[in-house]
Chain A
Amino acid sequence: MTYIAKPQLHHPSLPSNAIGLTRRDYEGRISTLCAGCGHDSISAAIVTACFELDLQPHRLAKLSGIGCSSKTPDYFLGQSHGFNAVHGRMPSVLTGANLANRDLVFLGVSGDGDTASIGIGQFVHSVRRGVNMCYIVENNGVYGLTKGQFSATSDKGSKSKRGAENTESGIDLVALALQLGATYVGRSFSGDKEQLVPLIKGALTHGGAAVLDVISPCVAFNNHAGSTKSFDYVREHNDAVNRLDVILGRTPIKTDYAPGEVRDVTQHDGSVLRLKKIAADYVATDRNAAAAYIQEHQAKGEIVTGLLYIDPEASDLHDRLGTTRVPLNALGTEDLTPGAQALARINAGLR
């Protein structure tokens, strides 16, 4: 951490977005994480993504659990709603908040321990229910906050800082999310904002459960030779299948690409996900093919990154439950307390 607050002075050409805010307006307090932590880069990517989406800060809720990663919502979007849940319990709190106010944009930020160890039960259910959220796992393969024990996503064979080898198999959160029915699944790397920022933008505008597994090196406990989550290892083994551009509904779409090179996917909110192919044989809209590709390449030691799966027809928990369009806090007294006659009608329907 630092003792001084980040100066307010900024670059003279700092641009404003459509709602008149600068990128700096989306920042939070100065980070207290270790210098060089990958999580801080993800925070910076979230700041940029929200700025570029012209999001109104007060229309976003950021929720997290416990861990270094879960501390980060303090370091971005200082003017948004926030909730810091108990370890591993963020998905349920987020589900509840989303049910109460479907008009907010929900951002869940968690760690690999918070998600894949203690919180895995919560995580899987929020995804399979299709809660409309952007769920980011800041995946460093260790419990950073408690001094670097292997977490459940640590790869088998990966070595700890003192040389001990992880003998248990790691959970692949991307494979799990695909299996659970997530409608937007991506993987990225904290050290590659060009890839990460659009992935976050796409996830925030997506209308269903969006899961991003972001590898985020822990400089204190997991950035040594022998680790599979270090800067060097990830850079060497990164296999990006595509590059994404998120084009907001109001911007005209330019088509200056050769056919076959790009694929445009229009989401429910009108935003267009423009996928530029890198791996020729990769189809991001085919869940089974995606799963197969990822497993095949991972077996070769590659880390597959990019927008790995997208279902443009995604629906969410509200659609499935048929809940009211109106957030609960905006419902009038008449709707909330419909009176004895309405109760009688319901009771009659149950007889």
Chain B
Amino acid sequence: MKATDISRPDYFHKVVDCQWACPAHTPVPEYIRLIADRKYTEAYLVNWKSNVFPGILGRTCDRPCEPACRRGRVEDEPVAICRLKRVAADNKDDFALWLPPIAPKNGKRIACIGAGPASLTVARDLAPLGYEIDVYDGDAKAGGMIRSQIPRFRLPEEVIDEEVGYVTALGPVMHLGEKIDSLKELLSKSYDAVFVGTGAPRGRDLNIPGRLEGSANIHIGIDWLSNVSFGHNDKVGKRVIVLGGGNTAMDCCRTARRLGGEDVKVIVRSGYEEMKASPWEKEDAIAEDIPILNFLVPKAFTHKDGKLTGVTFEKVKAVHDAGGRRTLVTTGEPDQHFECDDVLIAVGQENAFPWIERDIGLQFDKWDMPVVGEETMQSTLPHVFFGGDAAFGPKNIIWAVAHGHAAAISIDKFLNGEDVTERPAPGVTVISQKMGIHEWSYDNDPVNDPRYKVPHREKSISLKNMKAEVELGFDEITAFREAQRCLNCDVQTVFTAKVCIECDACVDICPTDCITFADNGDEAELRTRLKAPAANLTQDLYIADGLPTGRVMAKDEDVCLHCGLCAERCPTGAWDMQKYIINIAQAGSACRTRT
């Protein structure tokens, strides 16, 4: 193998699994250490810079970081990264003091359509640079689906108000209740750039027999949820069936339990395991006495005297064809009927752009989605950019934020006459952690504690009140303990071959058998010859050559605990523990080629 080029910022960034997996590349271990130090405001700031909505995300994020977390590979569960974020938000001091200064107006005007997380991120990044920003949203309040869809028992409205407020405090002009019905018309207002962050607002319907007849009691999940959020709806029948297995379904069923539903079930076509909802969402639903029935395909809504009476399902099973593809086929058993008073359809969300004229030079693809550059977020109309669910279909908040950052960079470069395809490199700060022979400026001793659980409000209380938040958040002591589980993956093991004497001390001490000195070979073969087999191909081998014996040092990054013992036991200082703070570039002069 070729020696690893550790000067590439991506190399060590990848080792910080959580940060690499986070679409906005939040420097997770950095904020977790700040929480352990009770520096909540600083921890909040680290988050706010990266992901704009720490208090919201600390309660609702899809947390792609957690399945990636290294801790989950050395014991049962990852660090509770997401819920620690909330601790920073809950315990910080007055954050308004930390908002960035606003540069004098630069004369350029930008319109953001939609006031969801994607648009708000664009506004957050660009307003301080002096851009004049108009944000339009058809809803009366800003926040997008964060406000209209996510139920209050998961996300209190004050948290939304506060964090949306930090963005509006930076000066964008909020045109709420102003739906845009024609992009052409908006473009005629001579904005220098337009950002489209209108989400995926259409809930998929289920056109099976009885749909029309039962329609008074059959609701599209996301419309129903927003009606609840905006107070237009506060009741549901006692017996409710929710169709679908994603997060909308989970929010529908739990909301139904709070609006009077006593017998609420979720019924899905697929198997329980294949459901799109996250495992913790399913657990939370089940804990609220909501059974999840699987392998049932809805066939017809039943009705009597113009009123819905229930739903009939065909029983199916999963079969795998020769290619391993899974299909659902009928079991041949008789259909099953479930009685109910209301049905909530949560079988998917779609984009819809009826308000974008197709003759303005903005290209759509065969799925009727706008053609958008994956990195630049630029459409085929150079000054129109897309992001969030509007760009590539429904995802989640943190992706919307990541798109917002990327679009802001593009807009800033575009309006400075630069090539938007030239993407700025991240900022990297390297700090050796060595303080003495056995002293490091980070807490290098890994703890053995299993993951701590976030306490929940008493079910009898939370089921009675739509606004009573179910999760209560970690208290400070538990937060500290959970923070200690983080392995500080950003404190990197940095190797200097020319001083290594190949004494094996690092090999012998390493608790997870990461390090091997071996004859070089190609990667697949070398991976089998290491002190512990390096079977996780998603994790890199760190290779260094130039050793006295001609062998190479091969370190499997997979399960390194970042404990620093290799560096402590090295007689020559060939290993050092160095903190790599990686900050993904954001819009501003630093990301421009010419400043």
Contact = CB atoms under 8 A, between A and B. Distances in A.
B569 A2 contact: yes
A9 B448 contact: yes
B433 interface: no
A9 B74 contact: yes
A223 B565 CA distance: 22
Interface string A27-59: 000110011111011011000000000000000
Q: Which of B448, B501, B535, B572 has the most CB of A within 10 A?
A: B501
Given A7-B511, A9-B74, A223-B501, A34 B571 contact: yes
Given A4-B444, A35-B505, A11 B571 contact: no
Given A9-B74, A36-B572, A41 B503 contact: yes
B399 to A, nearest CB: 30
A217 B503 contact: yes
B446 interface: yes
A10 B509 CA distance: 12
A273 to B, nearest CB: 24
A235 B549 contact: yes
Contacts of B509: 6, 30, 40
A11 B504 contact: no
A219 interface: yes
Given A44-B508, A217-B503, A9 B572 contact: no
Given A9-B446, A36-B505, A217-B503, A2 B559 contact: no
Contacts of B532: 11, 13-14
Contacts, number: 97
A182 B507 CA distance: 33
A190 B504 CA distance: 9
Contacts of A11: 512-513, 532, 559
Nearest to B512: A11
Given A9-B511, A11-B513, A36 B503 contact: yes
A340 interface: no
A41 B501 CA distance: 13
A2 B438 contact: yes
Interface in B490-541: 501-505, 507-509, 511-513, 532-533, 535
B200 interface: no
B226 to A, nearest CB: 45
Contact of B508 (A12, A40, A231, A235): A40
Contacts of A36: 501, 503, 505, 569-572
A1 interface: yes
B372 interface: no
B125 interface: no
A31 B444 CA distance: 18
Contacts of A38: 503
A8 B511 CA distance: 7
Interface string A1-26: 11111111111111000000000100
Contact of A40 (B75, B505, B549): B505
B503 A6 contact: no
Most buried by A among B75, B548, B569: B569
Contacts of B390: none
Contacts of A191: 502-504
B567 to A, nearest CB: 9
Interface string A169-204: 000000000000000000000110100000000000
B202 interface: no
A7 B446 contact: yes
Q: Is the interface of B mostly helix, strand, loop or mixed?
A: loop
A336 B118 CA distance: 88
A100 B457 CA distance: 65
A291 to B, nearest CB: 30
Interface residues of B, number: 34
B568 A35 contact: yes
Nearest to B563: A7
B73 interface: yes
Contacts of A1: 438
Nearest to B74: A9
A232 interface: yes
Contact of A8 (B448, B501, B505, B569): B448
B283 interface: no
A9 B568 CA distance: 18
B445 A231 contact: no
Interface in B167-226: none
Contact of A231 (B502, B511, B533, B570): B502
Nearest to B531: A11
Interface string B557-586: 001010101001111100000000000000
Contacts of B511: 6-10, 24
Contacts of A4: 438, 444-445, 563, 565
Given A40-B508, A41-B505, A35 B549 contact: no
Nearest to A219: B571
Contacts of A43: 508
Nearest to B548: A232
Interface in A290-348: none
Contacts of B73: 12
B440 to A, nearest CB: 10
B74 A12 contact: yes
A23 to B, nearest CB: 9
Interface in B226-275: none
A219 B503 contact: yes
Contact of A235 (B505, B548, B561): B548
A44 B561 contact: no
Contacts of B535: 13
A191 B504 CA distance: 7
Given A14-B532, A41-B504, A2 B448 contact: no
A12 B511 CA distance: 11
Interface string B445-471: 110100000000000000000000000
B356 to A, nearest CB: 50
A10 to B, nearest CB: 6
B529 to A, nearest CB: 11
Contacts of B561: 7, 9
A12 B559 CA distance: 8
A8 B535 CA distance: 21
B571 A35 contact: yes
A101 to B, nearest CB: 31
Nearest to B509: A6
A213 B553 CA distance: 28
A244 B524 CA distance: 27
**What 7 A-B pairs have minimum CB-CB distances, sorted nearest first?**
A36-B571, A44-B508, A4-B445, A36-B503, A11-B532, A3-B438, A35-B571
21 contacts: A1-B438, A5-B445, A7-B446, A7-B511, A7-B561, A11-B559, A14-B532, A24-B511, A36-B505, A36-B570, A36-B571, A36-B572, A37-B503, A38-B503, A40-B509, A43-B508, A193-B504, A217-B503, A231-B548, A232-B548, A235-B549
Interface of A: 1-14, 24, 30-31, 34-38, 40-41, 43-44, 190-191, 193, 217, 219, 223, 231-232, 235
Given A36-B505, A36-B571, A36-B572, 15 more contacts: A2-B438, A3-B438, A7-B446, A10-B511, A10-B512, A11-B513, A12-B74, A14-B513, A14-B532, A34-B571, A36-B501, A37-B503, A43-B508, A44-B507, A217-B503
